Amino acid sequence: MKAKSLKPINHIFVPLSLFILIGSCRVSQHAASTSYPIAYTSLASNNKDIYITNPTGKSKIKLTNFAGGNGYSAWSPDGKRIAFYAKYDNKRTWSIHTINVDGTNRKRLTHANGKWDSSPAWSPDGKKIVFARTYRDANKVVQHQIWMMNTDGSAQTQIKSLSGGGPCFTPDGRIVFHSEYPGKKSNISIADIDGDNLTHLTHTEAEEWQPEVSPDGKQIAFTSKRDGNFEIYVMDIDGSNQKRLTFNKFRDSMPSWSPDGTQLIFTSRRDDIIDIYMMRQDGSSIKKIIPQGGQPAWFKATH
């Protein structure tokens, strides 16, 4: 699920017959997660909606149909649901939702007015969702918080010792996120699920956002501006061996690992258009796979 910039009505249930299906017939939940394992957002329908597609980007299914906009998809470990955020009140309120991968059973989980809830991520056992909450307090100071809840939206609890956004889980249940702390703009950090044992993994003066842990739990891909432009980087889970993967004048961001950890997909703003690209884990063989798409998330099945 995710950026430092502030990112992330009643329930709207859309009959399946109204979903836009491009290049494929309607699929079951199981077939969707296996045949269409990449979720992303697009303005193809003149509204920011969530789609799922195959790794070639040639066949896709539109899942959402909500005028407020939807984004920052995150797959459940079993591949049956996607968590995301949607905007309300003329974008003054952002809320976390879940939806089945066949487009049914959309549920709104958070309802905090005037708060920007975004970047949801599922725990490895599928029982919890962690998310970021951003808002201005009574003194107009921007607050960056990390929250946890059950997947039905109950037991919403702030992890008070953590300040930042873009949280995601390691396979062993720790939280990686971009942190806010004195003297730094935004660096990548890791902590236990209760906020204990906080460790800062990067220590630059740059903005560093959107970490995602590799399927084997050994590496973290992330976005950094340390070299003057937003590029994709990778490092070991302990912060060592930091390596830059993309080299161009365009903004590259929001990396997501393939299930086997050999490839990454990411968003790139080239020719003033946001598209989704794929590359090998070493940064080679970059190619465009999804035009006019962003915020990609690759489903990684758990065993």
Residue 75 has pLDDT above 90, yes or no: yes
Whole-number pLDDT of residue 45: 84
Give the integer Cα–Cα distance in Å for 288 and 29. Answer: 27
Average pLDDT across the chain, whole number = 88
Structure confidence at residue 66 (pLDDT):
83
Enter the pTM of the model: 0.88
pLDDT of residue 25: 38
Q: What is the pLDDT of residue 301?
A: 75
Please spell the DSSP secondary structure of 169-193, one letter per residue: E-TTS-EEEEE--TT-SBEEEEE-T
User: Which strands make up the sheet holding 49-53, listed edge to edge?
Assistant: 21-22, 60-62, 49-53, 38-42, 293-298
Distance CA 13, CA 64 (A): 9
Check whether 302 has a pLDDT greater than 80: no
Give pLDDT tens digits for 37-57. Answer: 999 999 888 889 999 999 998
Domain spans in the chain, listed from the N-terminal domain onward: 16-298
CATH class of 16-298: mainly beta
> Between 215 and 272, whose confidence is greater?
215
User: Distance (Å, rounded) from C-alpha 220 to C-alpha 232?
Assistant: 11
pLDDT digits 0-9 by tens, 103-138: 999 999 999 999 999 999 999 999 999 999 999 999
Give the per-residue SS3 of 280-297: ECCCCCCEEEECCEEEEE
Residue-wise pLDDT tens digits, 171-195:
999 999 999 766 567 999 999 999 9
